[in-house]
Structure 1
Amino acid sequence: MRVAGGALVRRWGGRAVGLAITGAGLYIVAPSLLSLFGTWPRLADIEPWWFPALVVLETCSFAALWWLARLALAQRAGDGEPSPVQSGWGTIATAQLAGNAASKVVPGGPAAGGVLQARLLIQAGQPAAVVASALTAIGLITTGVLLLLPILTVPALLVGPPPAKQLELGLLVSLVLAIVIVGLGVTALTWTRFVVLIGRAAGRVIHLVKRSVTADSCSATLIAQRDRVAAAFEGHWWKAVFAAAANRMFDYAALVVALAALNAHARPSEVLLAYVVAQALTLIPITPGGLGFVDAGLTALLVVIGISADTALIGTLLYRLISFWLPIPVGLLAWTGWRIHLHITRPSRKKAAEPPAAGDDE
C-alpha cells in the first residue's frame, strides 16, 4: 500500500501542484482579465477590414514557424536511424497548431504543447530522434531571436521618430529589424569567434548576479546551443534565420496594426519595447501562455509609453484576440481533423502491414 501510495504521489503530485499554481495565477489576474473583456463591445467601433488584416499578419507569423519546422525536419538522421520523410505542409501546420492550442489551455504550457506536436509528427512517420532534435532547435532559434530584440530595441528607441508620429512606421521598423536579425543570426551560425565574444560578455554580466556563472562557462554553453541549431538547419541557415525573424516581426506588426486601428499615437520603437516585454511574460509558467500576465503587462506598458488607458485596453484585447484566442479553436479543429484522419486510415494501414496469406501466391 505504501509503494502504491508513493507511486500515486509521484505520478499526480506534480500535476496537482501545477494545477494549484495555475489556479492561484488565474485568481490573481482575474480582475485584469475581467477589465480587459469588459471592453469587448468597443470592438464594434473598429472598421471591419482591420480584422482580416490582423488575421493575415498572424497567419504569416504562424506560417514562418511551419517553414522553420519543415527546414528542421529535413535534417539527416544519425547512423542507425531511419531517414526522415518529407512531411507535407498540412501535417506540419496541423502539428504546430494543435501543439500551440494545447500550450495555451493545458497546465504545463509549452511542455504539453511540445509533446502533442511531437506526437503528431511521429505518427506522421518522422523518426522520434529527428523530431526531438528539430523541436529543440526551433525553440532555441526562436528564443534567441526574442532575446536579441531587447538589444535591438535600444538603438530603435534612440533613432525612432518623435512622439505622436505615425504608428504605421512600425511596419517599416519590423522589416528593418528582420533584416538585421537575419544578418546577426547568420553571423552567429558561421562565425564562432563572434559567439565566443558575445558569450563572454554576457557571462561577465550574469556573474555579477549569479557567481556560479563565469565568462567561460557562459561562452561554452552558448557555443553548444549554437552548434545544435547549426546542425539542425545545416544547409538552410539563411532560410532558418529569416523564418525565425519573420515569426516575431509579423507578430509585432500585428500589434502595430491593432493600435493603428484605434488611431493610437506612439513611437513604433516604444511599441516594440512593450511587445518585447509582453513576449517575455509568455515565458512565465504560472498560467498557460502567460494568460492574464501578458494582457495586464502589455496594457500597462502601452499606457506608460503614452497611449490612453482605454485605447491600451482595447488594443490589447484586439491583438490578443487574434494572436492568442483565435488560434485555440483553430488548433482544436486541426487536432480533431487529425484524429479523424487517423481513425479512417488506421484500418488500411493495418491491412497493408499484415503479411500475405499462404494461399495468396497461388
Structure 2
Amino acid sequence: MTTLDTTTDDREVAALDEPAEPASGRRRWLRLALRVVVWPAVIAAIVVPQLPRFREASVELQSISWERLVFGFVLVLASIACYSGLTRTGLGAGDDVRHGTVFRIQLSTRALANVVPGGNATASALGFRLLTRAGASNTGAGVALATAGIGSAIVLNVVFWAALIIVIPTRGADRHLITIAALGGIVLALLLLAIAVVGLGGERVAGPIRRLAAKVGLDLTAPMRVVDNARGRIGDLIADRRRLARIGGWSIGQWTFDMAALWVFLSAFDISLHPLVLILLFGAANIAAAVPITPGGIGVVEGVYIASLVQLGFTLEAATFGIAAYRFAQYVFPIGAGALSYATLKVGPWRLDP
C-alpha cells in the first residue's frame, strides 16, 4: 500500500509539474521578447539622439571647478549612505549588521540595478543574499529590504504630492505632472495595501488563504510560516514609533541629498530652479524611473529631466550638460564604486563570512 500511495503521489506531482513547465517557459520567452523589443526601442528613441550632446557635455565638464564636482559626488554618496541607514533600521534587534557592511551591500546592489534591465528585483535578490551572509536572518533581511524600498517610495510620493498641491494654485496644473502623480498615487496605494494585508491582516487574511490552498491540494505551511514571521516583524516595526521616525528621517535624508546633488550639477551650468520646481522635477523623474523598462531608468530619467528643463525655458545645451553631469555621478559612478564594494565583500580583510 505504501508503494502504491507513493507512486500515486509521484504521478500527481508530475501531473502538476508538467503543464507548469511550458507555461513558465512561455512567460520567460515573453519577458525576453519584450525586453529585446522595448529596451532597444527606448534606447534608440531617447538615448541615442542625446549621445552627441553627452559627449559635448563631457568636454564642458572640464571647465567646472573640481570643488563643485567633488561636492556633487559627496552628496550622491551621502544619499546612498542614508538609504543604507534606512535598510539597517529595518533589520530586527537580533540582526546586527554593521553600518559599513550595509553601505557596501547597497553600493553593490545599486551597481547591479544600474546594469540589468528590470534590475531592482535582481538587486533585491543580491541584497538578500549578502545581508544573510553578513549575519541577518532570512526574515530580517527580507523585511529590511522591503522596509527600505517601501519607506523610500512613500516619502518620495508624499513630498512630490505636497509640492504639486502647493504649486497648482499658483502655476496651474501640468497634465504631464498630474499623470506622473497619478501613477505614483497608484503605486503608493498598492504599497499601503500590501503593508495592511501583511502587517495588519493577521489570521483574518492568512486563514482564508490556507483554507483555499487546502481545497486545491496545496501545502502552504512553509510559505505561510515565513509570512507569519514577517508579519510579526512588521507589526513590531509599526508599533515602534521611534523606529518609524528613524525610517522617515533616513528616507528624507536620502532624497534631500540626491536632490541637492541635482541642484549642484544644474547650477554649474547656470540653471537655477525654485525649490518647489526642483522637487517636482526630481519626483517626476524618479517616479517615472520606477517603471522597469531600462536599467536604472537610463534614457527615461534623462528624457524627463531634459524635456522639462527645456519646457521651463532653459537651453537644450545647458539642460543636457547639467543632467549629463548629474547622471554620471548618480548612475555611472555607483557602478564602478559598487563593483569595488562587491569585491571587498568577497575577498580581502573585510569580506563576508562564507
Same fold judged by TM-score > 0.5?
yes
1:246-292: CA deviations, max 9, x gaps?
Answer: 10111111111111122223323222211111111211211111101
Rate the CA distance shift 1:98–1:10 in 2: closer, same or farther, 3 A.
Answer: farther
Structure 1 residues 342 and 16: CA distance shift in structure 2, 3 A: farther
Q: Distance in 1 between matches of 2:352 and 2:160?
A: 47
Which is worse superposed, 273-282 or 21-30? 21-30
Residue-pair matches, total: 288
Distance 2:333 2:138 in 1: 30
Aligned counterpart, 1:70: 88
Q: Residues 103 and 113 of structure 1 are in contact (CA less than 8 Å); yes or no, is this contact kept in structure 2?
A: yes
The match for 1:24 is 41
Give distance in 2, aligned partners of 1:328 and 1:305. 31
TM-score computed with the length of structure 1 as normaliser: 0.70
Q: How big is the shift at 1:140?
A: 0.9
Structure 1 residue runs of 5 or longer lacking an equivalent are 77-83, 162-204, 350-362
d(CA) in 1 for partners of 2:191 and 2:120?
A: 25
Pair 1:127 & 2:134 matched: no
- Distance in 2 between the 1:144 and 1:3 partners? 39
Task: Note if 1:61 corresponds to 2:79.
Answer: yes
The match for 1:97 among 104, 107, 111 is 107
Which residue of structure 1 aligns with residue 311 of structure 2?
Answer: 304
Q: Gapped runs of 5+ residues in structure 2? A: 1-17, 172-180, 201-230
Structure 1 position 238, deviation (Å):
1.6
Percent identity of equivalent pairs:
25
* Counterpart amino acid of residue 332 in structure 1: A
* Equivalent position to 1:332, from 339, 344, 353: 339
**Residues 1:37 and 2:54 aligned together:** yes
| CA distance, structure 1, for counterparts of residue 43 and residue 34 of structure 2 | 12
Question: Which has the bigger relative contact order, CA under 8 A and spacing at least 6?
Answer: 2
Q: CA deviation at 1:27?
A: 2.7
Moved more, 260-269 or 326-335: 260-269
Match of 2:118 in 1: 108
The residue matched to 1:90 in structure 2 has which SS? helix
Supply the distance in 1 between the matched residues of 2:134 and 2:29 (Cα, whole angstroms): 33
Q: 1:223 to 1:319 in 2, by over 3 A?
A: same
Equivalent pair of 2:310/2:316 in contact (CA under 8 Å): yes
Query: Which structure is higher in helix share?
Result: 2
What residue identity is the alignment partner of 1:275?
F
Matches of 1:69 and 1:14, distance apart in 2: 33
Structural RMSD (CA): 3.5
Q: 1:232 offset after TM fit, Å?
A: 3.5
Q: Indicate the SS of the match to 1:232.
A: helix
Rounded to whole Å, the distance in 1 between the matches of 2:24 and 2:255 is 41
| Matched residue type, 1:124 | A
Indicate yes or no: 2:292 matched with 1:275.
no
Runs (4+) off by over 4 Å: 2-5, 158-161, 217-230, 341-346
